[in-house]
Amino acid sequence: MARVIVIGAGLAGLAAAVRLAKLGHQVTVCEAEDRLGGALGRVEADGFSWDAGAASTTLPAALRDLFRKSGRPIESLVQLDPVTTPRRHLFGDGSVLDLPIGDRSAQLEAWTDLAGERSAQRWTELVDSYGETWQILRKTSLEPPLMDRLPLPAIRALKPWQSLEKVAARRLDDDRTRAVLHYYAVQQGSEARLTPGYVGVWSYLERTFGRWTVAGGFGAVADALAQRAVERKIDVRTGTEVASVATRDGAVAGVRLVDGTELPAEVVVSDVDPRVLYTQLVTDPAAKKVRKQVERTHQAQAAYVVHLGLREPLPELPFETVLHGAPTVTVRTGGQAPAGHQAWSVLVHGYPTDDVIDLLVARGLHIRDKVVSRQTSASWWAGVAWEGYRTARRRAANTSPVKGLYCVGAGAHPGGGVPATTLGAAVVADAVGKA
């Protein structure tokens, strides 16, 4: 049995903690804030409740595997529900696309109605081709730790040097289909011209596995993980900030807290920005190379988020609506509200130069006189921005040259978002192994 300290109690940190505790290790979680869950939280005001961060996920199997491998199935604590409404896309030319999620034939029909049979077929063929991409990524990067060097056939198939923008320009013949593909970079806080084309695999994952949410808000997943931590007898310490990771002869020895307390450990799992970890918390010479590596990365641009409490009647919107333009704006409608009201979250991808309400009105959503509550959400750690395909190698690996040190979370492999951070925690648990 190893003594394990997890720094940070976001989704990835909690996921790693409960997995490792189930494997028989003695786990302590140190969280600087007073609450658990990181971006998986809630904003509550004036009788409304909104998801502070993630509101849905694809790859529900990743969450189900997490709860199954740490104890009872997720359904014993929360219920994952499929998002049944299409994602609506409003384009600059005034056209509207309701793109179904999780249904190939329905997507083909929707694109045919909007852009014609030729454009619809091109979209469908591109998404189909990402099936092979998914199998390669799953076998080489997600189920095992990221390989030092991918096999040559995998590199040739992935074509990482081709940007998402170039893939869209070559494979798609309608500006609207291209905009929808670009959105998979935009929602990660990156630019399509700097994002590898294989990131478009998320279009295949959504169409294959759908999107899933939780009744009452996605923050319930954080509550369920907190309960699982109690069940696994994890020592959870909120309001506890780590000042440094202690090392000895290239291996972790524990952590030192800001109050001077030293906690011994054989394993340390970090769920903080890897640039902070390797430049401020870890000084061991063994980390010199990875320190230079992560210093060359930059933070992805987090969406600017405004939560609105609105009085009905309102325009009828699905779970998610994307307003394409500069900047791209996403409206989520899944919040909790009093009778006769709705709770919307508005995410602005890019630097807003106009007020959010002005942006919505300019895009055709006239809700100015409906606002009864307005809350601005603090930006959360959005992970690493794509700056070309080499970014994948600069992002911190889950393992570390410092023995016993591991990285999870949005800044580490395989990236941000609920599925990726959950999969990263699984990689770490497998690497540490049973007690």
What pLDDT was estimated at residue 147? 52
What pLDDT was estimated at residue 275? 95
What pLDDT was estimated at residue 144? 61
CA distance 137 to 186: 21
Buried b vs exposed e over 58-69: b needs ≥16 C-beta within 10 Å?
bbbebbbbbbeb
- Residue 34 bridge partners (DSSP): none
Report the amino acid identity of residue 208. T
What number does CATH give the domain 3-40+54-81+215-299+383-432? 3.50.50.60
Q: Which CATH architecture fits 101-210?
A: Orthogonal Bundle (1.10)
Give 298-325 as a DSSP string: -B--PPEEEEEEEESS-----SEEEE-S
What pLDDT was estimated at residue 289? 94
φ/ψ region of 325 (left if φ > 0, alpha if ψ in -120 to 50, else beta) reads left
Query: What are the domain boundaries of the chain?
Result: 3-40+54-81+215-299+383-432, 101-210, 304-377
What pLDDT was estimated at residue 113? 98
What pLDDT was estimated at residue 350? 80
Residue 87 C-alpha from the chain's centroid: 18
Q: Which residues in the chain show pLDDT less than 70?
A: 144-149, 378-381
Residue 11 CB-half CA count within 13 A:
31
What pLDDT was estimated at residue 419? 93
CA distance 5 to 61: 27
What pLDDT was estimated at residue 380? 63
Q: Which CATH architecture fits 304-377?
A: 2-Layer Sandwich (3.30)
